[in-house]
Amino acid sequence: MKKIAVFTSGGDSPGMNACVRAVVRTAIFKGLEVYGVFRGYEGMIEGDIKRMHSYSVSNIVQRGGTILKSARSKEFRTPEGRKKAYDNLMKHGIEGIVAIGGDGTFTGAKIFFEEFGIPTIGCPGTIDNDLYGTDYTIGFDTAVNTALEAIDKIRDTAAAHDRIFFIEVMGRDAGFIAVESGIGGGAEFVMVPETATDIEGVVKSLKNLRKTKSSSIIVVAEGDDAGNAEEVMQKVKSKIKDTSKEFKVTTLGHIQRGGNPTARDRVLASRCGMAAVEGLLKGEVNCMAGVMNQQVVYTPFGDCIGKTKPLIEDHLKLIEILSI
């Protein structure tokens, strides 16, 4: 293998740049030519592919976002789109690709590999942490810390006014951000898509809590089965007769996707990027390079996207016990 390409795709996550840097520099270190594909699969279809050098990735290890840009491509879902993408890679003589992204990115990469056989490897880039085959995904730690900083600030004002705050964090299908920011932020409740939300139970506990606490923090993952934070708040509020308590909703939104990556995310990104290039050279294909129990592991794309990564049970217990 002499030439490889790297791209970022789907929702961006802090640390993607550190990962791109690791891929580019490891490839050059190993004597490979490396190309950057801009705007993910969309740019692959349009032929937006440029040679990368060591200096192309200077001064990016600390930056959020992705210098390669990111996109979600409808055309890549069609056989015609994928054929165009393949032809563009062939024009540059590219023999292997590194895809940095989440489950959507790997779903595309798996199909692409099965259709054209081009050696493909992934790095877990998503704030959601919802990929099987790695303990953490690149960007998760930063997103949790961003959410936590916001929760701390909201807690100050919640306490000052004796209010009940519903804080919505990202996580369309997974509650990892909600759980970790909830534990760190001392939330009274955390609502996640993985477990059924018991509104009656929350109302009951809130009534009890009010004997000892004047304010409460409830963290809601955007994909919770009971609805988003506004909907959950309305459901809870409608069951509480005492109108003296004020209920407020704050949606943290895309601030969770940006910002300088934490040290943990930079290290994880660098490890995964290097492991991806080394994996490609060793014949590890159609799989993701992740880190589990401190060790680099290669997990087939099929498992990464097909198996569910469960929440850590102790975490849910912690929230229940520590919120009394």
Cα 219 to Cα 8: distance, rounded to the nearest angstrom: 30
Which x/- pattern over 243-262 shows residues binding ligand F6P (rule: CB under 6 A)? --------------x-----
CA 82 to chain CA mean position, Å:
25
Work out which of 171, 185, 261, 300 binds ligand F6P, going by CB under 6 A: 171
**What does the block give as tokens for 91?**
């024009």
Q: Computed over its alpha carbons, how large is the radius of gyration of the chain?
A: 22
172 annotated as belonging to a binding site for a ligand:
yes
* Cβ distance to ligand F6P smaller for residue 12 or 284: 12
Among 73, 88, 120, 126, the residue binding ligand F6P under the rule CB under 6 A is: 126
Cβ-in-10-Å burial (0-12, 13-18, 19+) of 84 comes to middle
Concerning whether 128 is annotated as a catalytic residue, the answer is: yes
Per CB under 6 A, contacts with ligand F6P among 10-49 are 11
H or E segment and range at residue 165? strand 164-169
Q: Which stretch binds ligand F6P (CB under 6 A): 24-32, 53-61, 166-174, 205-213?
A: 166-174
From the candidates 12, 48, 87, 128, give the one annotated as an active-site residue: 128
Pick left, alpha or beta for residue 133 (phi over 0 → left; psi -120 to 50 → alpha; otherwise beta). Answer: left
Please say whether the beta carbons of 113 and 286 come within 8 A: yes
Nearer to ligand F6P, 214 or 228 (CB): 228
Tell me how far apart the alpha carbons of residues 15 and 61 are, in angstroms, rounded to a whole number: 7
Q: Residues annotated as binding site?
A: 11, 21-25, 72-73, 102-105, 126-128, 155, 163, 170-172, 186-188, 211, 213-215, 222, 248, 254-257
- Interaction site with ligand F6P (CB under 6 A): 11, 102, 126-128, 170-172, 222, 257
Q: Residues annotated as binding site for Mg(2+)?
A: 103
Catalytic residues: 128
